[in-house]
Amino acid sequence: MGKTLAEKVWDAHVVRKGEGEGANAQPDLLFIDLHLVHEVTSPQAFEGLRLAGRPLRRVDLTIATEDHNTPTLDIDKPIADLTSRTQIETLRANCKEFGVRLHSLGDKEQGIVHVVGPQLGLTQPGMTVVCGDSHTSTHGAFGALAMGIGTSEVEHVMATQTLSLKPFKTMAINVEGTLRPGVTAKDIILAVIAKIGTGGGQGYVLEYRGSAIRALSMDARMTICNMSIEAGARAGMVAPDQITYDYMHGRPHAPEGADWDAAVEYWNTLHTDDDATFDVEVDLDADTLEPFVTWGTNPGQGVSLSAKVPSPEDFGDENAKAAAERALQYMGLEAGTPMKDIRVDTVFLGSCTNSRIEDLRAAADIIRGRAKDPNVRMLVVPGSARVRLEAEAEGLDKVFKEFGAEWRFAGCSMCLGMNPDQLEPGERCASTSNRNFEGRQGKGGRTHLVSPVVAAATAVRGTLSSPSDLESAPAGTLTGIAV
Amino acid sequence: MEAFTTHTGIGVPLRQSNVDTDQIIPAVYLKRITRTGFEDALFAAWRKDESFILNQAPFSAGSVLVAGPDFGTGSSREHAVWALKDYGFKAVLSSRFADIFRGNSGKQGLLAAQVAQDDIELIWKVLENDPGTEVKVDLVSKTVECGNVVAPFDIDDYTRWRLLEGLDDIGLTLQHEEDITAYEATRPSFKPKTLPAKVDAQ
């Protein structure tokens, strides 16, 4: 019988098969091709190596960057927050001691770890990629098996370049059809999460398939795979194709010459066989999809932007009902309110979900020639220093600044507020990030997850809005949208 | 890692689903570089509310957390497990755990016991009607006991064995180092390496 993409990548990395069968089987020992490291989840792992007197086995398969704590203003000055500064300095000292390549704040390759890996060409089809960060699933967009791990596992990978894992089940997410203008990859994944729930993917690797997925750019595929974790899945994947190869070709660490040809030959085998079966299949219709937005405090609590805030009574399950009641209270929303009547204070364009060049282009296309609602603050945080440079070369920084948005330096920023970019209590934000948890963007902050184009349209109108709500589309808009 | 066989302690009913790791430990506490001392960070935002369960005796002295479904979703932060352990929790009961949280628990000797939601509801009732009731979690027999409720729980055999024996993962893996070396020798040359860096980042 044929194999799924996930099974092929898994099988190619088995160092040692676990003994036993079925539920009682021991885990397999898998080789890890790339280990991404950042300052938050690594200090205790480095310390563990040091205490045990163990070396870092493969520094040539390890790369670090600074992202979670880094300020997005005044990056040439010492970091004001002392605990943040200590954590960054600890990473620098650890990388120096163990010989790990590090892209520090201020260098051209610094940025959010999940933006940096792909843009350097280090993320490639068929690889196993791990990082002490749940959004490592992003790299699955290349047909890699990529997953977030905890700090104990970070230390395990550092010491052994392997992980002990039990095989996952497989779930196909079939998205057929054509997205309408203004509907994007973000809307696909928010709709998937609302459909299967925050626990729906638990124990599964998701494979995104179908004509709507095949039509997506790499930046858009990364947005989708990024939020697999929000559906409970450890990993999400898209089979590589010509779009993948075109993205890869010429990147600093992409294979060259004969190695490129050998790589492509291998990558061409990385698709689910016709006679393979998934444990579960889920279908989503791209033709009828609308811009999607969350109303609650977990990413599964989402609706179409044209819908109303649901009532707890709409949920049959007692736990879901209680969760909805609590979420509405925290969010300060009343059931029945049209989503589009909800006024926001802040718009955040950034995070490992939506901070790549196409995301910035798509948002810039919406706001170009328009005025920002004066009561809205908009923060634009490119995913990496490289993305920032690219955007500036295209003049996107000017578009954002003229609109009245703040143009910042790269990092995780307001996605999780470990740096000074945070919401005030009660402040409401339309955010292109991935988590609307209580307090995630700042204590008492209220988050609505949206796509970059919805974020942009919302900044114009001041209320949650889709691009089609804008009075007249200036010439040239809706062309470069990262669908 | 300390071995785990059985534990008996005060049960804490947390009637909430989707308790994400941002709630278990807010991001601001992740800036520390130590592995211990996170007890103050556990549920830091919720603990500011006096009515929160951990602010009430006898639950404040609890060591078995009994939570709703989808516990530990979201961020991979192992700090969530460290905070639960540092506070004094030895076991968490839920009908469904997020994968990464469950994995992290297993590495740190915090027992994540998967109990059917119907049994969770029964245990909640016992703990709410008679606060301070102890929950006995027996990893040998894979059962939990609370008042008159006795329920089985699920945990994968490998994690159970490691917890019962108190085994260190890295040590176990390094017993197979020759297998890792043999695998490394077969990797194709087109696979990327991070060193030497092929960029000028300055």
Q: Is the pLDDT of residue B168 over 90?
A: no
Q: Is the pLDDT of residue A393 over 80?
A: yes
Q: Is the pLDDT of residue A266 over 60?
A: yes
Please check whether residue A344 is in contact with residue A448, taking contact to mean a CB–CB distance below 8 angstroms: yes
Residues of A in Cβ contact (< 8 Å) with B38: none
| Residue B201: per-residue pLDDT | 78
Q: Which of B114, B193, B202 to mutate to test the interface with A (most CBs of A within 10 A)?
A: B193
CA distance B41 to chain A (A): 14
Can you say how many angstroms the Cα of residue B181 is from the centroid of all Cα atoms in its chain?
32
pLDDT tier, A134 (very low <50, low <70, confident <90, very high otherwise): very high
Q: Is the pLDDT of residue A474 over 80?
A: no
Q: Which of A300, A222, A433 is nearest to B27 (CA)?
A: A433
pLDDT tier, B200 (very low <50, low <70, confident <90, very high otherwise): confident
User: What is the average pLDDT across A5-12?
Assistant: 98
Residues of B in Cβ contact (< 8 Å) with A437: 20, 22-23, 74
Dihedral sign from CA coordinates of A22, A23, A29, A34: positive
Write out residues 72-131 of A within 8 Å (CB-CB) of B.
Answer: 81, 83-84, 86-87, 90, 101, 103, 107-110, 120-122, 124, 127
| Residue A51: per-residue pLDDT | 93
- Please give the mean pLDDT across all residues of chain A: 96
Q: Percent of chain B at pLDDT above 90?
A: 96
Q: What is the dihedral of CA B150, B126, B13, A332, to 10 degrees?
A: 130
Longest dimension (CA), chain B: 67
Dihedral sign from CA coordinates of A115, A124, B76, B3: negative
CA pair distance A347, A329, nearest whole angstrom = 21
User: What is the average pLDDT across A301-330?
Assistant: 95
Dihedral sign from CA coordinates of A225, A231, A234, A238: negative
Read off the amino acid at residue A384: S
Q: Which of A135, A162, A260, A435 to mutate to test the interface with B (most CBs of B within 10 A)?
A: A162
- CA-nearest residue to A90 within chain B is B33
| Residue A482: per-residue pLDDT | 43
pLDDT tier, A20 (very low <50, low <70, confident <90, very high otherwise): confident
Q: How many beta carbons lie within 10 A of that of residue A71, not counting itself?
A: 21
CA pair distance B158, B173, nearest whole angstrom = 14
Q: Is the pLDDT of residue A472 over 90?
A: no
Can you say how many angstroms the Cα of residue B129 is from the centroid of all Cα atoms in its chain?
26
- CA-nearest residue to A42 within chain B is B33
User: What is the average pLDDT across A351-379?
Assistant: 98
pLDDT tier, A1 (very low <50, low <70, confident <90, very high otherwise): confident
The predicted-structure confidence for B25-53, as pLDDT tens digits, reads as follows 999 999 999 999 999 999 999 999 999 99
More confident residue, A477 or A154: A154
Cβ partners under 8 Å of residue A248, min gap 6: A121, A124, A142, A254
| Residue A21: per-residue pLDDT | 76
CA distance B35 to chain A (A): 6
Cβ partners under 8 Å of residue A482, min gap 6: A184, A185, A217, A219, A220, A223, A356, A358, A359, A361, A362, A452
B108 interfacial to chain A (CB closer than 8 Å): yes
The predicted-structure confidence for A35-44, as pLDDT tens digits, reads as follows 999 999 999 9
Please check whether residue A466 is in contact with residue A454, taking contact to mean a CB–CB distance below 8 angstroms: yes
Residues of B in Cβ contact (< 8 Å) with A108: 199-202
CA pair distance A482, A120, nearest whole angstrom = 21
Write out residues 215-274 of A within 8 Å (CB-CB) of B.
Answer: 229-230, 232, 234, 252-255, 259-260, 262-263, 266
Please check whether residue B145 is in contact with residue B74, taking contact to mean a CB–CB distance below 8 angstroms: no
pLDDT tier, A23 (very low <50, low <70, confident <90, very high otherwise): low
Contact A298 B20 (CB under 8 A): yes
Please check whether residue B2 is in contact with residue B109, taking contact to mean a CB–CB distance below 8 angstroms: yes
Q: How many beta carbons lie within 10 A of that of residue A256, not counting itself?
A: 13
Please check whether residue A147 is in contact with residue A139, taking contact to mean a CB–CB distance below 8 angstroms: no
pTM of the model: 0.95
pLDDT tier, B202 (very low <50, low <70, confident <90, very high otherwise): confident
Q: Which among A68, A69, A164 has CB closest to B173?
A: A164
Q: Is the pLDDT of residue B3 over 80?
A: yes
Facing residues of A27 across strands?
A: none
CA pair distance A101, A94, nearest whole angstrom = 11
Omega into B196 within 30° of 0, i.e. cis?
A: yes
Q: How many beta carbons lie within 10 A of that of residue A178, not counting itself?
A: 12
Q: Is B112 left (phi over 0), alpha (psi -120 to 50) or beta?
A: beta
Q: Is the pLDDT of residue A480 over 60?
A: no
**Residues listed for chain B:** 202
b/e code A288-321 from CB counts within 10 Å (16+ = b): ebbbbbbbbbbbbbbbbbeebbbeeeebeeebbe
Tokens of A262: 């050998």
DSSP-derived secondary structure for A93-153: HHHHHHT-EEE-TTSTT-B-HHHHHHHTT---TT-EEEESSGGGGGGGGGT-EEEE--HHH
Q: Is the pLDDT of residue A217 over 90?
A: yes
Dihedral sign from CA coordinates of B47, B48, B53, B54: positive
| Residue B7: per-residue pLDDT | 98
Q: Is the pLDDT of residue A483 over 70?
A: no
Read off the amino acid at residue B146: C
| Residue A481: per-residue pLDDT | 44
Residues of A in Cβ contact (< 8 Å) with B79: 151
How many CA atoms, within 13 angstroms, populate the side-chain half-sphere of residue B54?
A: 23
More confident residue, A25 or B113: B113
More confident residue, A386 or B202: A386
Q: Is the pLDDT of residue A453 over 60?
A: yes
Please check whether residue A280 is in contact with residue A171, taking contact to mean a CB–CB distance below 8 angstroms: yes
| Residue A6: per-residue pLDDT | 98
